[in-house]
């Protein structure tokens, strides 16, 4: 297992290098002049040109990328054009908030999606199954930004039960976490239902029923454990989706996380912040995938035997 984890960590290096190349290339070819944005629209061209030279924007692409990748290897993500502070410090100070939002959202998604999926599978073709399937389709179809605005209007403006901005108190966690967690809950519910239905049709489940075992024992001891592998996969993928969804949600709810900071950086052409933020999110998602693979091994002994 330790060799497998080490091998996966080493495999992340070329992935992250590829991410740095793609995001650096995109920011390089994007229209807009960071020097002009920083100097101001009315600044003379001489001042703007001097600023370009100071920032290294006049260097060829290969020189700029090599300088950037060398600095990243030393955990130096550069300096924010807008604030003048190190990008690493700016991102790390906001990273816990984004991870907190993502964690709360995935907890809601799992606590809602998995039980509904199990009940829907065990009561197939019932009224409950039809209602759960309909709610799941609605959850997948409703855009995240629209749901966020509706939640603000209903619970914040009309009813006044919950705050509509910030992320400092438990009451402020509810609306943003629910708004991006509900769509993931719908996806997890559908996957849990599909996986459970497949497992419940297996011969060993019929054998357990024939031996007279209780329904709860059959579902939770035999069926659920074997149905968890695809569900765990979806949960891991949904964490990446939630990290991306947090960018929009943080702006709607005025949450001081990485997402809101990156949106502001895009508007200001603050390329070091954009590059550093995307790289950190890519690293987080890669680590999540590694954790998911390790969980596979503990859930399924057949997979664990392959790692030895």
Same domain, 63 and 127: no
Average pLDDT of the chain to the nearest whole number: 80
Residue 3 lies in a domain: no
Q: Which of 25, 224, 45, 245 is nearest to 122 (CA)?
A: 224
Mean pLDDT within 280-307: 73
177 and 200 fall within a common domain: yes
- Mark whether 230 and 275 lie in a shared domain: yes
Q: Which domain holds residue 68?
A: 35-76
pTM: predicted TM-score of the whole model, two decimal places = 0.78
Q: Which residues of 168-196 are buried (b: 16+ CB within 10 A; e: fewer)?
A: eeeebbbbbbbbbbbbbbbbbbbbbbbbb
**Percent of the chain scored above 90 by pLDDT?**
0
Same domain assignment for residues 155 and 122: yes
24 occurs within a structural domain: no
The candidate with the shortest Cα–Cα distance to 90, out of 304, 261, 281, 289, is: 261
Same domain, 178 and 50: no
Last residue of a domain, one of 76, 109, 139: 76
In a domain, 28, yes or no: no
The model's pLDDT over 157-199, given as tens digits with 9 standing for 90+, comes to 888 888 888 787 888 888 888 888 888 888 888 888 888 888 8
DSSP one-letter code for 32: S
206 domain residue, yes or no: yes
Domain assignment of residue 10, yes or no: no
Are 96 and 143 in a shared domain? Answer: yes
Q: CB of 189 within 8 A of CB of 134?
A: no
Domain end, chosen from 16, 45, 76, is at 76
Same domain, 293 and 270: yes
Would you tell me how many other CB atoms lie within 10 Å of the CB of residue 304? 14
Does residue 111 lie within any of the structural domains?
A: yes
Q: Are residues 218 and 280 in the same domain?
A: yes
Q: Are 261 and 94 in contact (CB under 8 A)?
A: yes
Mean pLDDT of 124-139: 81
| Separation of CA 166 from chain center | 19
Residues 70 and 95 in one domain: no
* 190 and 101 inside one domain: yes
What three-state secondary structure class fits 218? Answer: helix
The pLDDT-based confidence of 128 (bands split at 50, 70, 90) is: confident
Please state the rounded mean pLDDT for residues 220-242.
Answer: 79
Q: How far apart are alpha carbons 232 and 218 in whole angstroms?
A: 20
Q: For residue 260, which of 269, 268, 251 has the smallest C-alpha distance?
A: 251
Same domain for 190 and 59, yes or no, is no
- Say which CATH number the domain at 188 has: 1.10.3720.10
For the cut 80, the answer to whether the pLDDT of residue 31 exceeds it is no
Over residues 293-304, the pLDDT tens digits come to 777 767 666 665
Q: Is residue 290 part of a domain?
A: yes
What's the structural domain count of the chain?
2
Looking at the fold, whether 189 and 274 belong to one and the same domain comes out as yes
Please give the pLDDT value at position 305: 58
User: Cα-flanking dihedrals φ and ψ of residue 86, to 5°?
Assistant: -60, 135
Side-chain-facing half-sphere of 66: CA atoms under 13 Å: 5
Distance set, CA 162 to CA 141, 152, 158 (Å): 25, 8, 10
């Amino acid at each position: 297992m330790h060799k497998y984890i080490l091998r996966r960590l080493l495999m992340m290096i070329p992935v992250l290098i590829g991410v740095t190349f793609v995001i650096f290339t995109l920011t390089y070819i994007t229209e807009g002049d960071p020097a002009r944005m920083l100097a101001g629209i009315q600044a003379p061209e001489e001042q703007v040109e001097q600023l370009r030279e100071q920032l290294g924007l006049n260097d060829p692409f290969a020189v700029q990328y090599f300088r950037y990748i060398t600095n990243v290897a030393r955990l130096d993500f550069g300096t924010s054009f807008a604030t003048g502070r190190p990008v690493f410090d700016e991102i790390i100070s906001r990273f816990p908030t984004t991870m907190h939002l993502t964690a709360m959202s995935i907890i809601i998604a799992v606590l809602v999606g998995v039980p509904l999926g199990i009940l829907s599978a065990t009561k197939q073709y019932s009224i409950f199954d039809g209602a759960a399937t309909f709610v799941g389709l609605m959850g997948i179809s409703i855009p995240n930004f629209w749901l966020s605005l509706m939640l603000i209007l209903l619970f914040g403006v009309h009813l006044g039960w919950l705050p509509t901005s910030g992320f400092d108190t438990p009451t402020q966690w509810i609306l943003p976490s629910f708004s991006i967690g509900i769509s993931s809950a719908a996806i997890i519910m559908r996957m849990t239902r599909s996986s459970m239905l497949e497992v419940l049709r297996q011969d060993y489940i019929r054998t357990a029923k024939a031996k007279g075992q209780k329904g709860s024992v059959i579902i939770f001891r035999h069926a659920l454990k074997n149905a968890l592998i695809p569900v765990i996969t979806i949960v891991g993928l949904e964490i990446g989706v939630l990290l991306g969804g947090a960018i929009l949600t943080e702006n709607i709810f005025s949450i001081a996380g990485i997402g809101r900071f990156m949106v502001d950086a895009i508007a200001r052409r603050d390329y070091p912040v954009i590059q550093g933020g995307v790289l950190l999110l890519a690293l987080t998602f890669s680590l999540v995938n590694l954790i998911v693979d390790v969980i596979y091994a503990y859930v399924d002994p057949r997979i664990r035997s392959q790692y030895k």
